[in-house]
Structure 1
Amino acid sequence: MSNVFNVYCDESCHLEGDGIPAMVLGAVWCSKVKSRKIARDIRELQVKHGLKSDFEIKWTKVSQAKQDFYCALVDYFFDNPDLHFRGVVIPDKTRLNHGLFGQNHDLFYYKMFFYVLRNIITSKDRYRIFLDIKDTQGRERLDALSDVLHNAHYDFDRTAIETIQHVRSHEMEQLQLTDLFIGALGYVHRGLQGNAGKLAVIERIRQRSGINLTCSTLPSEKKFDVFVWEAR
Structure 2
Amino acid sequence: MTKTFNFYCDESTHLENDGHRYMILGYVSTSYNQLKKHNQAIREIKRSHFIKGEMKWRSISKSRVVFYAKVVEYFFMTDLEFRAIIIDKTQLNHSGFNQTHDEFYDKMYFQLLNKKIQFDATYNIYIDEKDTHSYKKAQSLKQYLERDYHNIRTLQAIKSYESELMQMADLLMGAINYKLRGLSKVASKNTIIEKIEKEIGKPIIEPSSLYEKKFNKFFIDLK
Output aligned runs, 1:67-146, within 5 Å: 67-81=65-79, 83-90=80-87, 92-146=88-142
Mapped to 1, the partners of 2:118 and 2:112 lie a distance apart of 13
Q: Which runs of 4+ in 1 moved over 3 A?
A: none
By how many angstroms is 1:144 displaced?
Answer: 1.4
- Tell me, in whole angstroms, the C-alpha distance in 2 between the residues paired with 1:103 and 1:49: 47
CA distance, structure 1, for counterparts of residue 54 and residue 135 of structure 2: 24
Q: 2-side partners of 1:183 and 1:230: how far apart? A: 21
**What is aligned with 1:59?**
57
Q: Deviations over 1:79-129 (max 9, x none)?
A: 012x10001112x31331111111121111111111111122110111000
Alpha-carbon RMSD across the aligned residues, in angstroms, is 1.2
Say yes or no: does 1:30 pair with 2:21. no
CA distance in 2, matches of 1:213, 1:123: 31
**Structure 2 alignment gaps of length 5 or more:** none
State the 1:229 CA deviation: 1.6
Q: Deviations for 1:141-166, whole angstroms, at most 9, x for unmatched residues? A: 11211122111xx32xx3x1111011
In 2, Cα distance between the equivalents of 1:51 and 1:128?
28
**What is the distance in 2 between the residues matched to 1:227 and 1:23?**
12
Identity across aligned pairs (percent)?
40
Residue 224 (1) aligns with residue 215 (2): yes
Q: Which amino acid aligns with 2:73?
A: D
- Which residue identity does 2:81 align to in structure 1? H
TM, length-normalised to structure 1:
0.92
Q: CA deviation at 1:10?
A: 0.6
Give the deviation of 1:25 after TM superposition.
0.7
- Unaligned 5+ segments in structure 1 are none
SS in 2 for 1:100: coil
